[in-house]
Amino acid sequence: MNIKLNLKTLGMALTVSAFTFACNSETRTETNSEIDEAQVEMNETGVETEREYNDMAVWVDENSTRAENASEEEWREMRAEYSRREAELDARSETWDDEAKREWEEVKASWKRTEDKVQKRLGDVDVDVDVDRNNN
């Protein structure tokens, strides 16, 4: 019986020590610092993603206008560049929220309309692009 009592007492002492350690202000400060660092990292990633997306949206807008009068060679270059950029952003889009994904789909649809116009004007222009991308 005495051994059981000693084990219970030891268990309670360890439990109280663990809670005391967890409630220690230094430990709370360290934990809060780690949370702050994680939030800063997430914010930086979000800003980087938004910058990349915005760059692509601007690129599509500028090149859509240019594509309407582009030669076949210029069109091939634009399409190859678009395909490269699209593959990069598609790979990253898995982590985006629903709104960002929807906006990305709108940018891709805008480029598709440009492609349709140029294809109609130039005929079927074959583009040799070596891009590994996921089509879901």
**CB of 104 closer than 8 Å to CB of 96:** yes
Q: Which two tokens stand for residue 39?
A: 């939030």
| Domain encompassing residue 60 | 2-122
Rounded mean pLDDT, 42-47 = 66
Instruction: Report helix angle 25-67 to 72-92, nearest 10.
Output: 160
Query: Is there a domain that residue 73 lies in?
Result: yes
Query: Is there a domain that residue 113 lies in?
Result: yes
> Domain total for the chain?
1
The whole-number pLDDT of residue 130 equals 46
Q: Which position has the higher pLDDT, 52 or 115?
A: 115
Query: Is there a domain that residue 15 lies in?
Result: yes
Please give the torsion angle defined by the CA atoms of residues 53, 59, 64 and 66, in that order, rounded to the nearest 10 degrees. Answer: 180
CA 136, CA 32: separation in Å to the nearest integer?
Answer: 39
Query: Is there a domain that residue 128 lies in?
Result: no
Query: Is there a domain that residue 127 lies in?
Result: no
pLDDT at 50 over 90: no
Q: How does the average pLDDT of the chain come out, rounded?
A: 77
**What is the value of pTM for the model shown?**
0.59
Q: What is the pLDDT of residues 80-112, one digit of tens each?
A: 999 999 998 888 888 778 888 888 899 999 999
CA 61, CA 113: separation in Å to the nearest integer?
Answer: 12
pLDDT at 17 over 80: no
The whole-number pLDDT of residue 129 equals 47
Angle at 113 between CA 119 and CA 98, to 5 degrees: 145
Query: Is there a domain that residue 133 lies in?
Result: no
The single-letter DSSP state of residue 68 is T
